[in-house]
C-alpha cells in the first residue's frame, strides 16, 4: 500500500476546511501523498494507508456529515490508523477544562472508531458567514468574532501524525 492518507472533514463556514487543507499540506511536505476532501464527497476509503477526519462543532456536536462518514465507513476505518481533529470556538482558550469539554463532543465518534490521536483547535467566527437565526444565537451566547486558529499548533500536530499513522 502506498503512503496515501485521506484528510476528510465537515465544515459549515470554511474554517475547518482551511485547517484540513493545512494538515494536508504539512503531510505532503513530509513526503506523504495526502488527499483533502469533504466528508460528504468520499464514497470509499479503501486504498488509503490512514485517514484523518475533522469536523467543526455545532451545539456541542460534530457536524452530521462527519459523524455519518465515520458511521458509513466504520469497518474500513477500523482496519487503518485514524486520527480526529475538532475545530471549535471553545478552544479559543486552551485550558484543561475546555479540552475535557471538547473531548466530550468526540465521544460518539470515538465509540465507533477509536483514533490514534486527536487534535483540538480553535476556529474562526465570521458572523457574516452564518445564517440569520444562527447568527442571532451566536451573538446571544457572546461568542466573539475573529480568527482564533493557532496555525503553529495545527502544523505541529499534523507534523506528528506521520509516525502515529504508520506513514
Give the SS3 label for residue 93. coil
pLDDT digits (tens, 9 = 90+) for 73-84: 999 999 999 999
Range of the domain at 86: 4-164
pTM score, whole prediction? 0.90
Place of cell 456529515: 65
CA gap 7, 11 in Å, rounded: 13
CA gap 72, 91 in Å, rounded: 28
Look up the CATH number of the domain holding residue 102: 3.40.50.360
> Is the per-residue pLDDT at 1 higher than 50?
no
Domain count, the chain: 1
CA gap 103, 89 in Å, rounded: 13
pLDDT digits (tens, 9 = 90+) for 15-61: 999 999 999 999 999 989 999 999 999 999 999 999 999 999 988 99
Amino acid at each position: 500500500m502506498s503512503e496515501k492518507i485521506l484528510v476528510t472533514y465537515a465544515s459549515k463556514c470554511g474554517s475547518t476546511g482551511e485547517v484540513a487543507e493545512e494538515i494536508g499540506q504539512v503531510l505532503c511536505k513530509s513526503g506523504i501523498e495526502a488527499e483533502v476532501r469533504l466528508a460528504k464527497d468520499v464514497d470509499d476509503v479503501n486504498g488509503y494507508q490512514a485517514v484523518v477526519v475533522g469536523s467543526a462543532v455545532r451545539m456541542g456536536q460534530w457536524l452530521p456529515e462527519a459523524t455519518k462518514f465515520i458511521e458509513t465507513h466504520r469497518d474500513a476505518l477500523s482496519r487503518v490508523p485514524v486520527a480526529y481533529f475538532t475545530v471549535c470556538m471553545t478552544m479559543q482558550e486552551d485550558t484543561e477544562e475546555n479540552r475535557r469539554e471538547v473531548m466530550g463532543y468526540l465521544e460518539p465518534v470515538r465509540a465507533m472508531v477509536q483514533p490514534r490521536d486527536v487534535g483540538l483547535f480553535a476556529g474562526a467566527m465570521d458572523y457574516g458567514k452564518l445564517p440569520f437565526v444562527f447568527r442571532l444565537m451566536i451573538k446571544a451566547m457572546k461568542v466573539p468574532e475573529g480568527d482564533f486558529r493557532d496555525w503553529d499548533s495545527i502544523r505541529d500536530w499534523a507534523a506528528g501524525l506521520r509516525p502515529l499513522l504508520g506513514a
